[in-house]
Amino acid sequence: MAETTLQEARATGSARLEWALVAIGIAALIAAPFFFYPVFLMKMLCFALFACAFNLLLGYTGLLSFGHATFFGGAAYFCAHAVKVWGWPPEAGILLGTAGAAVLGLVMGFFAIRRQGIYFAMITLALAQMFYFFCVQAPFTRGEDGIQGVPRGHLFGLLDLSQPHNIYYTVLGIFLIGVFAIWRIVNSPFGMILKSIRENESRAISLGYSVANYKLAAFVMSATLAGLAGATKALVFQFATLTDVTWQMSGEVILMTLLGGIGTMVGPIVGAGLVVTLQNTLATSGFPVTIATGLIFMVCVLVFRRGIVGEIYARLLTSVGTGKKE
């Protein structure tokens, strides 16, 4: 009896600690643009949301997609085109990009969820490559040049997004909404079923869940949120290019998630932050960024599969475990 109360006390203690850390994190993000270059921070936030969305599929449903660049880059194209060519306001552009990514996710997911493991990964890869070739050919993407000079406009006709702080807090808001949505999904009954599919798919089927529908729903949600990140990025950088739809981009988001910790809430954010920082540091040093990312990737898979945050959690769990024995 005494032991359970002790455990409960520990649990509520760690929950309080987690909330405190979240509050500190948000406060740090609010203060950050006064200390760091806002565009760099916004790049981090966009990729962090992208990685979190990807993690919803890989970490919580156990599906490895090699095609998430389609949603990220596709949404960036849709948003950039709507804002620049059609003159839509930024919020409508982001909505269109996100919706477009959802449709792409529905199509890709519809085909991919029919197969598992390596076959799932290869279907997503092949469809993503087809989308890439589509983007190379389609006139509205302007091929190699991409859509450049996208105006940021005024949010809801009021807030001038060309001001660095205005757009920063808009992006931060989108990021927080996106991450909160993922947190809600993961901790809902729906999320529990996703995790059960990850752990044991045949068991979930035998319990009566129509696994295919849940997988498709998770795929579309992940694609939608990845699209939200991509559309936002198009406004931040004011361009959309082929880079965002290549399979290297799909790989980059895998790396971010892997480095931070698959299946943890904070991991992809940490991973994205580290990768973006690394890219920015290396870009000025002359050392080829892509080779560095590839090498980190390999080292991660070889010796460091739980990722940074995953590793910390594992350490904490073992320390709790030994504490119980005392």
Under rule CB under 8 A, residue 151 binds other proteins: no
According to CB under 8 A, which one of 29, 32, 92, 122 is a site residue for other proteins?
122
Q: Which window, 91-99, 158-166, 301-309, 314-322, contacts other proteins (CB under 8 A)?
A: 301-309
Q: Which window, 14-22, 178-186, 236-244, 294-302, contacts other proteins (CB under 8 A)?
A: 294-302
DSSP code, position 238? S
According to CB under 8 A, which one of 10, 114, 203, 324 is a site residue for other proteins?
114
What is the nearest approach in angstroms of other proteins to the Cβ of residue 307? 12
Measured between alpha carbons, how far is 47 from 253 in angstroms, rounded to an integer? 8
Under rule CB under 8 A, residue 297 binds other proteins: yes
All residues at 6 or more sequence positions from 17 whose CB lies less than 8 Å from its CB, including other chains: none
Taking alpha carbons only, the member of 259, 265, 260, 262 closest to residue 181 is 265
Tokens 């992208």, residue located: 50
Taking alpha carbons only, the member of 76, 71, 58, 216 closest to residue 140 is 76
- Phi and psi (nearest 5°) for 51? -65, -40
What is the nearest approach in angstroms of other proteins to the Cβ of residue 253? 12
Quote the tokens at residue 294: 């590839």
What part of residues 51-90 is at the interface with other proteins (CB under 8 A)?
Answer: 64, 66
Under rule CB under 8 A, residue 200 binds other proteins: no
Under rule CB under 8 A, residue 4 binds other proteins: no
Under rule CB under 8 A, residue 121 binds other proteins: yes
Q: Which window, 22-30, 187-195, 204-212, 292-300, contacts other proteins (CB under 8 A)?
A: 292-300
Closest CB to other proteins among 162 and 248? Answer: 248
Quote the tokens at residue 154: 């005024």
Under rule CB under 8 A, residue 251 binds other proteins: yes
Measured CA to CA in angstroms, residue 182 lies from 52, 130, 173, 276 at distances of: 8, 28, 14, 21
33 close to 164: Cβ distance less than 8 angstroms: yes
267 close to 309: Cβ distance less than 8 angstroms: yes
Under rule CB under 8 A, residue 115 binds other proteins: yes
Taking alpha carbons only, the member of 76, 58, 77, 74 closest to residue 66 is 58
What is the nearest approach in angstroms of other proteins to the Cβ of residue 161? 34
Q: Which window, 85-93, 149-157, 215-223, 287-295, contacts other proteins (CB under 8 A)?
A: 287-295
Closest CB to other proteins among 42 and 112? Answer: 112
